[in-house]
A and B are shown apart, each in its own frame.
Chain A
Amino acid sequence: NAGVTQTPKFQVLKTGQSMTLQCAQDMNHNSMYWYRQDPGMGLRLIYYSASEGTTDKGEVPNGYNVSRLNKREFSLRLESAAPSQTSVYFCASSEGPFRRAFFGQGTRLTVV
């Protein structure tokens, strides 16, 4: 099993450009999450999806949009990238909120 697969692993964007981070899981999990990790700070939740067809904001949703395309896939879109969005992004999935979470390998995004 691949688990949680994120693409791309690295990306450099210019300010104002847009891009979509892709995430797919093959564990038939209901819940999927997008986090960002910044130096000196804990992981912070951007958006989550508790089930196919639903999405909700987390702690830091501004500047991002998400799509739960189907049960497997949960994408994160930056419509107009800003330097403040330079971060490492992690996708995760779990069977539910009280279950163990599985993480992707991360996407290192730099906005210049």
Chain B
Amino acid sequence: KNEVEQSPQNLTAQEGEFITINCSYSVGISALHWLQQHPGGGIVSLFMLSSGKKKHGRLIATINIQEKHSSLHITASHPRDSAVYICAVRPSNFGNEKLTFGTGTRLTIIP
């Protein structure tokens, strides 16, 4: 079993829909990252969080440390949001530099 599981693996939605991508992990962590990988391959860091909730524009990330679960929400989705969204965790029982990555959720927003 992977330490980081994302769901769904693929998600197709209509423009304007509210999107939720989930990330569950099985180890104690010190931080969790959400990343966006564009169709061209470039990776952008969206959020880093260790508790609660963060918001940036139409993106919201939440984390529940007790339940070992995080969600990434996109409000008023747009075709330009189409990308692979990757969750990564920093295990608290390893050297600080290690990140364990999920395999990503491929999001497609249809106009």
Chain A interfacial positions (CB closer than 8 Å to B): 31, 33, 40-45, 48, 50, 56, 58-59, 88, 90, 92, 97-103, 105-106, 108
Q: CB distance B45 to A42 under 8 Å? A: no
B residues within 8 A CB of A59? Answer: 98
Chain B's interface size range is 20 to 34
Q: 6 A-B pairs, CB-CB below 8 angstroms?
A: A42-B86, A43-B101, A45-B99, A58-B97, A102-B45, A105-B42
Q: CB distance B98 to A58 under 8 Å? A: yes
Chain B interfacial positions (CB closer than 8 Å to A): 2, 4, 30-31, 33, 35, 40-45, 48, 86, 88, 90, 95-104
The answer, among A42, A98, A108, for a CB contact under 8 Å with B88, is: A42
A59, A88, A97 interface centre (most CB from chain B within 10 Å)? A97
Q: CB distance B97 to A31 under 8 Å? A: yes
Q: CB distance B86 to A43 under 8 Å? A: yes
Q: CB distance A88 to B96 under 8 Å? A: no
Q: CB distance B48 to A42 under 8 Å? A: no
Q: CB distance A56 to B97 under 8 Å? A: yes
Q: CB distance B101 to A44 under 8 Å? A: yes
